[in-house]
Structure formats: C-alpha cells, structure tokens
Amino acid sequence: MATWRNWAGNQKASPLSIESPRSVGELAALVASASELGQKVKAVGSGHSFTSAAATNGRMVRLESLSGILNVDRAKCQVTVGAGTRLSDLNTLLHSEGLALANLGDIAYQTVAGAISTSTHGTGKALTGLAGQVIAMKLINGQGEIIECSKSVNPQIFDVARVSVGALGIITEYTLQAVPSFRLRALEQPMRLDDVLENAHGLASTNDHFEFFWIPHTKWALTKRNNRTEDELQPLPRVKGWIEKTFMENYAFGAVCRVGRARPSLIPRLATALPSSGSREYVDQSYKIFASPRIVRFYEMEHALPVEALVPALKEIRAMVDRKGYLLNFPVEVRFTKGDDVPLSTAYGRDSAYIAVHVYKGMECEPFFRDVEDILRAYNARPHWGKMHYRDAEELSKLYPRWDEFITLRNQLDPQRTFSNAYSDTVFGK
C-alpha cells in the first residue's frame, strides 16, 4: 500500500494505489471501474492544500500526463490546458505565446485543477480569482462519463463546477481567458501597521495589486504594490534577487523560524530581524512578480470576508494575539479580490479581503487558528477550501446563497459518492 503526504506534512493517506492515467479515456475507464467496484477515487495535484481534500484510502490519481497547452486562440486570448499542468509551467508556456493570466496567487507550484477547484486567488480589487477566468472545462463524473461544459454547453454544470473541491468529478481540462502578456512595476516597502490600516482601502483601490504582511510582535507591515507598466524590464539583479528573494525570504527566514520553534520566548525579539526600513522597486514580467519561491514549510488558514470588515477584523486579531500571548513567527497576510459569480467561490457575490495566518511547520497551530476563526465568524468570513479550518457543512451552507444548487448537482454527478472522502463528508455532508 502506497503512502501520500501533502507539501506541509500535516496530511497523509494510504491509498489502495497511486495511478497516472495516460489519457482522458484511460482516466474515464478507471473511474467507471472504481464506481462499479464501490471504490473511491481522488485526484491529487502538487499537494499544496493544507486540508485532506485529496486524501483517500481508495485509488489516488495523478494527472501529470494530462498537462500542457492543448489549444491557443490568439484572437480571443483564450487557452485550453490540461488539468494537471502546474501553474509554474503554464506561466512560461503562456509567455511564449505572448499571453498571461490577469491575476495569480503567490505560489506557482499548484496544478491548475487544484488551484481553481479550491478557489485560489491572487490580489487585485478589480480582479477575480482563478475560477473567474475559466470559460470552459471538461470533467469526468462518478459514472466515468466525460462531460463538456461552458456558458453555452451544460451551463448549469459549468456555473457550479468551477469551484468544486473535487466533489463533483475529476477535471481533465480548462479553457481560460488570458490577456496579452504584461509587465508589472513592483514596489515593496515597510509601513507602520496603523498607517496601512488607515489607508488600506485606498491602497487597494489605487494599485492594480496590493497586499501587506503584518509582522506580529512589531508595529510594522511589509507592503507590496504591483502595477501594470510599459516601462522596460528592470528585474532585480541576479545576485541581489537571489539574496533578497531566495536567501532572505527562505533560507534566512527559515533559520529564524527554527530558532523560534526551539525557543519560542525568543520569537518577539526575532521578529525585529524582519526588515522595518528600506524598500525595493523593479519591473518584470507579471508571472515572475506574482509568484515567489516557497521553501519554508508552514501550516496556513485563510478566510475571505467582506472587504469593509477587514480593518475591524484585523484589529480584533491583533488585540487577541496580545491578550492571549501567542508567539507567532510568521507574518499575517492580507489580500483583496473583486467579487465573482462562482457559487462556491470564497468571493461569491461580494468584494473580498483575505486574512491568512500561518504557523511554522512542527509548531502547535490549532489554538491560534481556532481563536482567529472565532473572530472571523462574526464577519461572515468564508474559509479557503484548500487551507485549514474547522467548519462543517451545517455552518458552511449558511455562508453560500447557492449552496443547495451545489448539493443537487453533486447528487446528480456523483450519486454513489465515488469522489468522496472524510473532508468532503465534513464540508458537504455525506
């Protein structure tokens, strides 16, 4: 029996088998066979989800063979890609075609299907997450049938299935709305947290992409502003870029985290090692600026809340951390997106702000995460489907106005629950 672990190491499974179908037809036959035998099937990507969404004691399916660009419509800036394509590969492939995705998350190791299915997003108050860029898709239902869907073909399935957390079927390909490739001017600088909170909505509205990282135990936040530009490329010099982006943000930060894990009492003092002065500015292709290397491993919880609730919610979290004496060696990240029309998207029907909290791998995270979640409940916050949370179907159903449509479609596409596991049973019910 094989063993699978996710990237963070907090989830593991012992599936009956780990298989890599070489074609959509082979995958469909696998699902049909499993359904007949009463076996479970789960597709797994890069394992970057912090939940057990992909875990199974049945047949685990990898989609490496269903990857790459399948078709490009340059006139419409649309691209069809295999579901197993890693975002890092997709970005470079798109660039070679003169295209790019309008918005991306800050991790590029995920597969396209994994990122979209869990409502992964970037930041940009006028931009949606990845699911909002999907214009067509193919999936295999619980009977092994291949279904095409778009706004004009099986529109009800398309509408709901863009974010499905793997509960409706196995996605085999997506057609995405891209844009002509573009450059971003990045400005990264520290600001006092109080100044950021006072101006957060203005900063989010006046920059194409804005996010910030509050450094617990300090009064500082690291801010990132990315704006489209026609200026010539001015990337960070190779050595300087490696030192600042790879060494300082990963190896050096990892060393600080390890010291903090060994001696938590030092964490407030170590927090001052993160920069509180100085800034950097550079111009590069969009995909090179959106994504950052992630070598230091951690546990993460993230919630989307109405954008107007951001400042009071974050102030409550800051006060709670001080009151309870939590020792935190990871920044708290805040991002913004435009609302969308995807029923199970965390930004459905509302412009959203995202608060993400992290704990270094190997350290206790549950008490802190639960306390943060308790605060965010009062703001009708929705947990990221691929990150840790403590919600169940009863509670989640109240956060999504079109929840019943999703459940109805689940019963239609997977009546035998071939794609179910413990996580889906918790968040969607059995």
Assess whether pLDDT exceeds 80 at residue 251: no
pTM (two decimals): 0.94
Mean pLDDT of 379-389: 98
Assess whether pLDDT exceeds 60 at residue 327: yes
What is the spatial distance between Cα 20 and Cα 23, in angstroms, rounded to a whole number?
9
Of 106-120, 220-234, 271-285, 397-411, minimum mean pLDDT range: 271-285
What is the spatial distance between Cα 191 and Cα 219, in angstroms, rounded to a whole number?
9
Question: What confidence score (pLDDT) does residue 272 get?
Answer: 78
Mean pLDDT of 298-313: 97
Q: pLDDT, tens digit, for every residue of 221-241?
A: 999 999 999 999 999 887 566
**Looking at per-residue confidence, does 178 or 257 come out higher?**
178
Assess whether pLDDT exceeds 60 at residue 67: yes
Q: How far is CA 429 from CA 159, 342, 382, in A?
A: 21, 20, 17
Assess whether pLDDT exceeds 90 at residue 144: yes
The CATH classification number of 183-383 equals 3.40.462.10
Question: What confidence score (pLDDT) does residue 266 get?
Answer: 82
Question: What confidence score (pLDDT) does residue 80 get?
Answer: 98
Question: What confidence score (pLDDT) does residue 292 get?
Answer: 77
Question: What confidence score (pLDDT) does residue 106 get?
Answer: 82
Question: What confidence score (pLDDT) does residue 12 get?
Answer: 95
Mean pLDDT of 78-102: 96
Mean pLDDT of the chain: 93
Mean pLDDT of 267-289: 82
Which phi and psi angles does 251 have, rounded to 5°? Answer: -65, -50
Q: Could you tell me the two tokens for 138?
A: 């193919």
Q: Could you tell me the two tokens for 134?
A: 């999907």
| CATH architecture under which domain 61-180+393-428 falls | 2-Layer Sandwich (3.30)
Question: What confidence score (pLDDT) does residue 244 get?
Answer: 62
H/E stretch holding 347: none
Assess whether pLDDT exceeds 80 at residue 96: yes
Question: What confidence score (pLDDT) does residue 237 get?
Answer: 80
The pLDDT confidence band at residue 361, using thresholds 50, 70 and 90, is very high
Looking at residue 191, its amino acid is M
Q: What is the largest CA-CA distance in the chain?
A: 62
Question: What confidence score (pLDDT) does residue 279 get?
Answer: 86
What is the spatial distance between Cα 83 and Cα 416, in angstroms, rounded to a whole number?
24
Assess whether pLDDT exceeds 60 at residue 247: no
Q: pLDDT, tens digit, for every residue of 107-131?
A: 888 999 999 999 999 999 999 999 9
Q: Could you tell me the two tokens for 402?
A: 């079109």
Q: pLDDT, tens digit, for every residue of 21-35?
A: 999 999 999 999 999
Q: How far is CA 57 from CA 24, 96, 290, 319, in A?
A: 23, 40, 35, 42
**Which residue ranges does the chain devote to CATH 3.30.465.10?**
61-180+393-428
Mean pLDDT of 360-386: 97
What is the spatial distance between Cα 44 and Cα 7, in angstroms, rounded to a whole number?
12
**Which residue ranges does the chain devote to CATH 3.40.462.10?**
183-383
Question: What confidence score (pLDDT) does residue 246 get?
Answer: 59
Of 64-68, 177-181, 240-244, minimum mean pLDDT range: 240-244
Per the DSSP assignment, residues forming a β-bridge with 261 are none
Assess whether pLDDT exceeds 80 at residue 242: no
Question: What confidence score (pLDDT) does residue 262 get?
Answer: 85
Of 89-93, 252-256, 373-377, minimum mean pLDDT range: 252-256
| First-residue to last-residue Cα distance in the chain | 26
Question: What confidence score (pLDDT) does residue 107 get?
Answer: 82
Mean pLDDT of 151-169: 97
Mean pLDDT of 244-269: 74
Assess whether pLDDT exceeds 70 at residue 248: no
Q: pLDDT, tens digit, for every residue of 33-48?
A: 999 999 999 999 999 9
The pLDDT confidence band at residue 172, using thresholds 50, 70 and 90, is very high
H/E stretch holding 286: helix 286-290
What is the spatial distance between Cα 90 and Cα 262, in angstroms, rounded to a whole number?
39
The pLDDT confidence band at residue 1, using thresholds 50, 70 and 90, is low
